[in-house]
Amino acid sequence: MRFAVTYKVDRLPLHYRMKVYSLIKEAIKNEDELYYKTLFIKNKNEIKPFSFATYLKDFKVSSDSIQVKEITITVSSEMEFAVHAFNGLKQLKTYEIDGVTWKQKNIQILKEATITTNSVYMKTLSPILVEDRKGNPLSPTDEQYEKELNYFANLQIERAANRKLYQPLQFTPINMKKTVIKESNRFFKKKHQNSSLFFTAYRGSFKLSGHPDDLQILYKLGIGKRTTYFGLLTYEGEEVH
């Protein structure tokens, strides 16, 4: 299931992705506290069954914040999570972050694509993060990129479907551009005296080939590393032979 919620917001912190994540967690907690505790406390180290992307309308970045008119958060997830998140967010008409009130404008269910072919064209809603085993960021043109992408995809498929990929993925970049994401959280700030985490990810369009069932799961739950924050995709079409 895929849906979008829009909030009127005057100002965002530079590390806004963590704030959006907190909003979604709060919605889940308000809707079903037992489900929240199972997902975010008992199984806190497991891959989460959702991915989100945030669109900022009419924004301007300053040294310490982002001036913005409104934000639209797209969430894609497994059905159980989606029902809790959608119902919970419907109740959160306002939400306060760092002294700024977010006012909900609308929330709507989005149409999902059904993938039936072995090759599809995709575009990122949030950039794809792929790193090697040492945590070094990889570019789509790097020799190891596809191997590591398959590694993370296998982790996603194992959690969602209790199996491995039916066949290896093939990733063909079309128009991918590097983007450096600046983030942080309270644990990192405490340890590193308010420093930021930097993630080198890539956004744009590409062709992805594999088994249709695998492609459907990755389209729904995200691809790459840290798929809660990164790697949410939109379907552009299938390859025509």
The tens digit of pLDDT for each residue in 62-110 reads 888 999 999 999 999 999 999 999 999 999 999 999 899 999 999 999 9
Q: Give the strand pairing for 100-110 and 94-97.
A: antiparallel
Total count of domains within the chain? 2
| DSSP bridge partners of 124 | 233
Q: Give the strand pairing for 119-124 and 50-57.
A: unpaired
The tens digit of pLDDT for each residue in 149-199 reads 999 999 999 999 999 999 999 999 999 999 999 876 554 444 445 567 889
pLDDT at 220 over 90: yes
Residues with Cβ within 8 Å of residue 133, at least 6 apart in sequence:
148
Give the predicted TM-score (pTM) of the model.
0.92
Determine the structural domain holding residue 14 and report its residue range: 2-110
**Of 110, 128, 143, which closes a domain?**
110
CB 73 within 8 A of CB 12: no
pLDDT at 33 over 50: yes
The domain that contains 31 carries what CATH number?
3.30.70.1890
Co-location of 21 and 124 in the same domain = no
